[in-house]
């Protein structure tokens, strides 16, 4: 392992920050969503209503606990912390003339605190988040106007923090637009029955790819040393059998993954992208100048989330669970309480496949295990999480040391407990630090170290020894 390997953790503002109307922050679309406690499918309101508990309002209150939380990260030895900025904290309605100074100050405090502990921030600009007003006024990413609004927000943020932040990720899991059952969390759009959903999906993907590239171009004008990454919801998938038809199905399954990273890294719609457009019979508008923007705004590193693996093939009947991804069950693997199949070797395989294809540095921007924790004697004996962590670290080490994959960092998802993106629950915990809050946001909010805390600390201290 390289000596400067970036061990750390990752979170998203809407799952962690809370402080939802503080210091001039505007409403974010997440603020009107209810969690799973209201019956698994998430419910979205037009505005805040009394008598409901909205998970994002308080989340696990990083807003008021940031000093304590960053100190805990530092105690574990974090070298990096991947976090996202809440857009409506900076532009209350998304299209305001002036940014909210108080919101900008909040992130100044965070970056200063991180610097105090020598933790490098890796900042995501769009992590399943948007000012509510932009969804109501423009229809989310349905509108091409979002490109300019998103780039303006990015420019303000990059200019403000140009001395404090070097690593930027524009969109979290950009390909979830093609993979999720609805484009809600990536684009904030609900399809209308009479519209061509495929065309709209490809159009919105184009808007986001142009936004990604424009952000890179503008960022490099602000600071040529900035490093930009994408963030892909990676689908580690195996063919069910050696039947060539199953292999072809696997090939097709990966097209929507490569679609985004090909453009972001190679700067054009490659043959893979064109093949996918054709297969899906997609038509969308490319305006003059767009292709040049895509060509110029290519990224420096590839980042991805990895939690589990899936199976594809003609005879696959039982579908496994996972974050937005769908695929079949694998009889060789065990799964978490949420049915996500645990496959550390799949991470080594994925690192190899991605690196072979793109040959640019890789960053594992999310990996982790959601589990139900038993809080006893002021701690959690989370041996299941420890086992998951150790096995995945071993896989990364092997990919780097045996396979020569250039991977420069690893961020554990939700190192301090946060709210689940998929269900809005607290009980699905990923952290090395337990936060005393339940699904209804009740509890003291106090932080307690779990058994895994010391294990991750040791892993970082020894640069990956397990």
By annotation, the residues acting in catalysis are 173, 366
Tokens of 65: 């606990």
CB nearer to ligand BG6: give 138 or 234.
234
Burial 20-41 (b: 16+ CB within 10 A, else e): beeeebbbbbbbbbbbbbeeee
Q: Judged by CB, which is closer to ligand BG6: 13, or 311? A: 13
Answer yes or no whether residue 172 interacts with ligand BG6 by CB under 6 A.
Answer: yes
Which residue number, 293 or 310, has a Cβ lying nearer to ligand BG6? 310
Is the separation of the CB atoms in 198 and 281 below 8 Å?
Answer: yes
Does residue 237 bind ligand BG6 (CB under 6 A)?
A: no
Q: Binding string, 330-369, against ligand BG6, x = CB under 6 A?
A: ------------------------------------x---
Neighbours of 443 (CB within 10 A): 13
DSSP type of residue 31: G
Which tokens in the block code for residue 461? 């201290």
SS3 content of the chain, % helix, strand, coil (to 5): 40, 15, 40
Neighbours of 195 (CB within 10 A): 10
Q: How far apart are the first and last CA of the chain?
A: 13
What minimum distance in Å lies between the beta carbon of 385 and ligand BG6? 13
* Nearest Cα to Cα of residue 95 among 172, 147, 160: 147
Q: Which residues, other chains included, contact 11 with Cβ-Cβ below 8 Å and sequence gap of 6+?
A: 62, 81, 82, 83, 84, 413, 414, 415, 416, 418
**Contact track, ligand BG6, 366-385, x by CB under 6 A:** x---x---------------
Both tokens of residue 78? 């974090």
* Phi and psi, residue 163, nearest 5°: -90, -10
Stretch that binds ligand BG6, among 27-35, 221-229, 420-428, 447-455 (CB under 6 A): 420-428
Q: Do residues 232 and 261 lie in contact, with contact meaning Cβ atoms separated by under 8 Å?
A: yes
Binding marks (x or -) toward ligand BG6, 17..56, rule CB under 6 A? ----------------------------------------
Segment near ligand BG6 (CB under 6 A); pick from 43-51, 109-117, 392-400, 419-427: 419-427
Q: Least distance (Å) from ligand BG6 to the CB of residue 59?
A: 12
Size of the site for ligand BG6 (CB under 6 A): 15
Residue 84 vs 88, nearer CB to ligand BG6 = 84
Which of 428, 429, 447, 449 forms a contact with ligand BG6 (CB under 6 A)? 428
Q: Which is nearer to ligand BG6, 256 or 370 (CB)?
A: 370
Residue nearest to ligand BG6 (CB): 422
Structure token pair of residue 303: 């980042």
Q: Tell me 79's DSSP state.
A: S
Cβ–Cβ under 8 Å, residues 5 and 463: yes
Candidate ranges 274-282, 289-297, 413-421, 448-456; the one touching ligand BG6 (CB under 6 A): 413-421
Instruction: Confirm or reject binding of residue 413 to ligand BG6 (CB under 6 A).
Output: yes
Whether the CB-CB separation of 10 and 82 falls below 8 Å is answered with: yes
Work out whether 420 is an interface residue with ligand BG6 (CB under 6 A).
Answer: yes
Among 347, 399, 421, 459, binds ligand BG6 (CB under 6 A): 421
Which listed residue (9, 18, 344, 422) binds ligand BG6 by CB under 6 A? 422
Q: Which listed range, 57-65, 91-99, 342-350, 415-423, lies at the site for ligand BG6 (CB under 6 A)?
A: 415-423
The answer to whether residue 173 forms part of the interface with ligand BG6 (CB under 6 A) is yes
Query: Minimum distance from CB of 122 to ligand BG6 (Å)?
Result: 14
- Distance (Å, whole) CA 230 – CA 237: 20
Cα 63 to chain centroid, rounded: 20
* Binding region for ligand BG6 (CB under 6 A): 12, 15, 128, 172-173, 233, 305, 323, 366, 370, 413, 420-422, 428
């Amino acid at each position: 392992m390289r000596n400067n390997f970036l061990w750390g953790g990752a979170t998203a503002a809407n799952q962690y920050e809370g402080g939802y109307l503080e210091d001039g922050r505007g409403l974010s679309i997440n603020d009107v969503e209810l969690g799973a406690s209201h019956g698994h499918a998430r419910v979205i309101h037009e505005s805040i209503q009394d008598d409901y508990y909205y998970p994002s309002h308080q989340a696990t209150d990083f807003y008021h606990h940031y000093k304590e939380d960053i100190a805990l990260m530092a105690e574990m030895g974090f070298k990096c912390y991947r976090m996202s900025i809440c857009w409506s904290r900076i532009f209350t309605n998304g299209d305001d003339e002036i940014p909210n100074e108080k919101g900008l100050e909040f992130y100044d405090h965070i970056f200063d605190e991180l610097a105090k502990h020598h933790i490098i921030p890796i900042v995501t600009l769009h992590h399943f988040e948007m000012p509510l007003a932009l969804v109501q006024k423009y229809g989310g990413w349905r509108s091409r106007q979002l490109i300019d609004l998103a780039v303006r927000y990015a420019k303000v943020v990059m200019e403000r923090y140009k001395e404090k932040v070097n690593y930027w990720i524009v969109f979290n899991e950009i390909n979830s637009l093609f993979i999720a059952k609805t484009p809600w969390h990536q684009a904030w759009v609900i399809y209308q029955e009479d519209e061509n959903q495929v065309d709209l999906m490809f159009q919105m993907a184009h808007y986001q790819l142009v936004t990604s590239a424009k952000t890179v171009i503008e960022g490099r004008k602000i600071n040529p040393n900035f490093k930009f990454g994408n963030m892909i919801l990676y689908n580690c998938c195996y063919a069910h059998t050696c039947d060539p038809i199953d292999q072809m199905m696997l090939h097709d399954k990966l097209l929507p993954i490569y679609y985004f990273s090909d453009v972001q890294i190679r700067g054009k719609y490659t043959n893979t992208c064109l093949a996918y457009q054709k297969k899906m019979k997609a038509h969308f508008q490319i305006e003059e100048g767009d292709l040049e923007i895509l060509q110029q705004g290519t990224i420096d590193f590839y980042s991805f989330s990895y939690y589990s693996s899936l199976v594809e093939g003609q005879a696959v009947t039982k579908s496994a669970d996972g974050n937005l991804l769908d695929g079949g069950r694998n009889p060789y693997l065990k799964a978490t309480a949420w049915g996500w199949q645990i496959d550390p070797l799949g991470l080594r395989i994925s690192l190899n496949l991605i690196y072979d294809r793109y040959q640019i540095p890789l960053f594992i921007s999310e990996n982790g295990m959601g589990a139900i924790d038993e809080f006893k004697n002021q701690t959690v004996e989370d041996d299941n999480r420890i086992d998951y962590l150790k096995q995945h670290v071993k896989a990364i080490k092997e990919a780097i040391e045996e396979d020569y994959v250039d991977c420069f960092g690893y961020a554990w998802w939700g190192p301090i407990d946060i709210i689940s993106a998929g269900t809005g629950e607290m009980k699905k915990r990923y952290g090395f630090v337990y936060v005393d809050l339940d699904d209804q946001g009740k509890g003291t909010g106090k932080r307690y170290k779990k058994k895994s805390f010391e294990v991750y600390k040791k892993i970082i201290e020894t640069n990956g020894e397990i």
